[in-house]
Structure 1
Amino acid sequence: MEQIGQHARHNHLHWNPRLGSRVLINADWYKDRGEAVTRMAEALTHWLCARDDIAAVLGLGGSGNTALVTQAMRALPVGVPKLMVSTVASGQVTQYVGATDLGMVYSVTDVAGLNAISRRVIGNAAHAAAGMAQNTIPEASDDLPGVGITMFGVTTTCVEHLRKELAGKIEPYVFHATGTGGASMEKLAESGLVTGLLDVTATEIADHLVGGVMPCSADRYGVVARTGIPWVGSVGAVDMVNFAGRETVPDKFSDRQLLVHNPQITLMRTTPSENAQIARFLTERLNRCDGPVTLFLPLGGVSAVDAPGMPFHDPEADEALFTTIRDTFKPGPRRHLIELPLHINDPAFASAMADELLRMLP
């Protein structure tokens, strides 16, 4: 009886309708399965990334296999065809797709076994993957160097000036700094599909540190250190944390300075202490870079609403940002800090950034 009791404590009785009785299921299996799926995803990731003969990747599965296979797919370079047929593809798929070019196909029925529906859905996916694998896109011989640029509504003027300054010299890939936008740009850099980065806008850091809805990850700027890609950047829009509608702003921020940007977006002005945190986050990562890096500080304001007479004009908060950057940024032979007495949207500020990028590019 003691052995049976010990056995029961580590297992669960589940009704089996086929047998018409209860059967024992080892409870450790549930715990170990999650660990096994994690390890299998890591193994598949290493295996796929070590190959040089992958023409396309096609996955099939429910939630477990979707998580496993898409983790490996996300590690592949942008441009490698990736297609996942999944029972969870009709819902929220951000965690599966991430910042890469991964296609999700809803399986409609379960993928366990074939029926008239699944045979058609899986067959279509297989033909799609085969078609992508057999029809590679040729490189254009006259392509200009691709440069990733981060933009937000309040730094759009700066980016427009940059595009004019660099017209005919680079091909701009503009990314809205919404968390996913910054990650997508860095995924292209990791895939070798951009030649340099004009990282004008850093508002994702504020959301990451303070709790906004458009955060970067802790690995933001990590690709710059890993790849040595030429990087010219600034601190655009770090004067704000982004929330959804006004009613979504947490109660703990009820006494903060808020600006309703539109019915879906509410901005919150960052404080001096938050700006110091943002500065340290940025410099800690840039200090790890051995490639060419230049950080520009717009001493006249970091966004369209951070200028004299505008709602977020706060010289004390801006000075906390600039002072902390000066104190923590480590200049080097290829790592530079440039301060300009200009607003970020001043044409001269964009011209200086453009000139610096062209100096860096091969």
Structure 2
Amino acid sequence: MAAQIVNIVAVGTLDTKLAEYLYLRSQILASSPSTNVILIDAGRSETHHEAITVSQPEVYKRSGHDGSLKSLPRGEVIKTMIKGAISVINDLYTEGNLHGVISLGGSGGTSIAAAVMRELPLTLPKLIVSTVASGDTSSYVAESDITMMYSVVDIAGLNEMLRAVVANAAAAIAGMAQSYASRCATPKERETKKKGIGITMFGVTTSAVDVARRQLDAQGFEVYVFHATGAGGRALERLIHEHRLDGVLDLTTTELADELVGGVFSAGQDRLTAAAKAGIPQIVSVGALDMVNYGPKDTVPDKFQHRNLFEHNPSVTLMRTTPHECAELGKRVASRLRDNCTNPGVTEVWLPLKGVSAIAIEGQAFYDKEADGALFDAIKRGLYGSGIVVKEVDTDINDPTWAANIARRLVELVEMKRIS
């Protein structure tokens, strides 16, 4: 049997880094002779070489921009070439001709490559060798699965160190792409895959999530747990957009509190909208909406130093949400569900009346009956008449019976959706 052809895209600014990309290409081909390297030029100026598959003018044309690229400021050039490269690479993916993407670059080249890669589906291999990979890469990676490799030296001329780093990267992307190509499911295999359920979790809701997860596992579901740290919530929303989930147990919506008050774990304004728009079964709860997250205690803004603070560990400080903040959070939960919900019959909100986290129950540091009441009342008012069921349960969020019941009910909603 003939070896499977694996297609790897190498995208970068070839007007400044052609030699490095040609070396990368040679190392990929050396690692995997059955691989085809598609070299895409996203630079500012056109570069000529027989190894270039998609030229800079072609990429620029795909951006839809009129006029001279050279007349644009650097930032606009990058945005324009990002748009064109996304168009080119998305077509390759749609045609089934893409098994991995790799890039070499400094901050500008990394910005282009990362923006392109973030548009591609999760699990398709993505690797960036970058001069900025040793710092905070959150703006490049976001909720995607981009792999970042530090270049050690600048990508400005080949030397012993850079050759070794690029050779490692070439071997890595070749191996990842080969693995990805070999496991790409056929339509028949996709039909037999388990149904996927997403669950949101935080340390203070882990007990409930563990019970629900075990129950869903036992009933044959593929369970994906998302840590509600901002990126986790965005990843959940993304998997829903990519049609990879059949149901959601959004037990832990704490990221909305960070968005409202300015904590470090905000997931943005799209949080809690994807499942409603998609019309897939979901049960939403209010896990950890009693808290806003900050780093070490001295990073909490001065204006909040008088508030009820709880040192979760030396790196994480929690701040109790007030009744006023909880009322606003309840409004946001309700409005995001109500305004986006295309199928109210498979959406429910469950409220644990005795505590929304492990430290919000009676006797614990964040117990605040008034604040919880404001949260619950706002949700009930906001969803009144929407067709979305609101279920109040006289227990706390980590009660094992509650967790088992909420998982059981989600299974019923998924089955109802399947039958309908």
Q: TM-score range by the shorter chain?
A: 0.7 to 0.9
The question of whether the paired residues in 1 share the 8 Å contact of 2:278 and 2:342 is answered with: no
CA 1:149–1:85 in structure 2 vs 1: closer, same or farther (change >3 Å)?
A: same
Residue 15 (structure 2) aligns with:
none
Residue 341 (structure 2) aligns with:
289
Cα shift at 1:302: 0.8
Cα shift at 1:165: 2.9
1:59-74 paired onto structure 2 within 5 Å:
59-74=103-118
* Partner residue of 2:393 out of 340, 345, 351: 340
Q: Does 1:147 align with 2:197?
A: yes
Q: How far, CA to CA, are the matches of 1:223 and 1:39 in structure 2?
A: 28
Residue 325 (structure 1) aligns with:
379
RMSD over aligned Cα atoms: 2.4
Residue 296 (structure 2) aligns with:
245
Q: How far, CA to CA, are the matches of 2:337 and 2:282 in structure 1?
A: 10
Cα shift at 1:34: 0.6
More displaced, 318-327 or 174-183? 174-183
CA 1:277–1:42 in structure 2 vs 1: closer, same or farther (change >3 Å)?
A: farther
* TM-score calculated relative to the size of structure 1: 0.84
Q: Partner of 2:218: helix, strand, or coil?
A: coil
The question of whether the paired residues in 2 share the 8 Å contact of 1:146 and 1:171 is answered with: yes
Question: C-alpha offsets along residues 309-353 of structure 1, whole Å, 9 cap, x if unaligned?
Answer: 2221111111111111112126555x3322222221222321331
CA 1:226–1:126 in structure 2 vs 1: closer, same or farther (change >3 Å)?
A: farther
Q: How far, CA to CA, are the matches of 1:61 and 1:160 in structure 2?
A: 42
Residue 132 (structure 1) aligns with:
176
Amino acid at match of 1:275: C
Q: How far, CA to CA, are the matches of 1:307 and 1:151 in structure 2?
A: 17
Residue 3 (structure 1) aligns with:
none
The question of whether the paired residues in 2 share the 8 Å contact of 1:41 and 1:68 is answered with: yes
The question of whether the paired residues in 2 share the 8 Å contact of 1:331 and 1:337 is answered with: no
CA 1:43–1:320 in structure 2 vs 1: closer, same or farther (change >3 Å)?
A: farther
1:165-244 paired onto structure 2 within 5 Å:
165-169=215-219, 170-244=221-295
CA 1:84–1:297 in structure 2 vs 1: closer, same or farther (change >3 Å)?
A: same
Which structure 1 segments of 5+ residues have no match? 1-27
CA 1:246–1:135 in structure 2 vs 1: closer, same or farther (change >3 Å)?
A: closer
Q: How far, CA to CA, are the matches of 2:385 and 2:87 in structure 1?
A: 36
The question of whether the paired residues in 1 share the 8 Å contact of 2:208 and 2:400 is answered with: yes
Question: C-alpha offsets along residues 51-109 of structure 1, whole Å, 9 cap, x if unaligned?
Answer: 41322111121101101110110111111111112121122211111111111122233
Q: Partner of 1:135: helix, strand, or coil?
A: helix
Q: How far, CA to CA, are the matches of 1:105 and 1:233 in structure 2?
A: 37
Which structure 2 segments of 5+ residues have no match? 1-68
* Partner residue of 1:353 out of 387, 401, 406: 406
* Partner residue of 1:36 out of 48, 69, 77: 77
Question: C-alpha offsets along residues 107-166 of structure 1, whole Å, 9 cap, x if unaligned?
Answer: 233334433433333333233223322233265887532222111121112112212332
* TM-score calculated relative to the size of structure 2: 0.73
More displaced, 227-236 or 57-66? 227-236
Q: Partner of 1:105: helix, strand, or coil?
A: strand
The question of whether the paired residues in 2 share the 8 Å contact of 1:77 and 1:190 is answered with: no
Q: How far, CA to CA, are the matches of 2:111 and 2:258 in structure 1?
A: 26
Q: Does 1:91 align with 2:141?
A: no
CA 1:254–1:150 in structure 2 vs 1: closer, same or farther (change >3 Å)?
A: same
Cα shift at 1:200: 0.5
Residue 206 (structure 2) aligns with:
156
Q: How far, CA to CA, are the matches of 1:111 and 1:256 in structure 2?
A: 48
Cα shift at 1:223: 2.3
The question of whether the paired residues in 2 share the 8 Å contact of 1:37 and 1:64 is answered with: yes
Residue 25 (structure 1) aligns with:
none
Q: Partner of 1:110: helix, strand, or coil?
A: coil
The question of whether the paired residues in 2 share the 8 Å contact of 1:59 and 1:66 is answered with: yes
Q: How far, CA to CA, are the matches of 1:84 and 1:47 in structure 2?
A: 18
Cα shift at 1:193: 3.0
Q: How far, CA to CA, are the matches of 2:285 and 2:216 in structure 1?
A: 17
Q: Partner of 1:302: helix, strand, or coil?
A: coil
Identity of aligned residues (%): 44
Cα shift at 1:31: 7.2
The question of whether the paired residues in 1 share the 8 Å contact of 2:293 and 2:316 is answered with: yes
Q: How far, CA to CA, are the matches of 1:39 and 1:86 in structure 2?
A: 21
Q: Partner of 2:249: helix, strand, or coil?
A: strand
Q: How far, CA to CA, are the matches of 1:45 and 1:92 in structure 2?
A: 24
Cα shift at 1:30: 9.8
Amino acid at match of 1:103: T
Q: How far, CA to CA, are the matches of 2:103 and 2:278 in structure 1?
A: 29
Q: Does 1:315 align with 2:369?
A: yes
Amino acid at match of 1:95: S
Q: How far, CA to CA, are the matches of 1:225 and 1:49 in structure 2?
A: 26
Residue 261 (structure 1) aligns with:
312
Q: Partner of 1:238: helix, strand, or coil?
A: coil
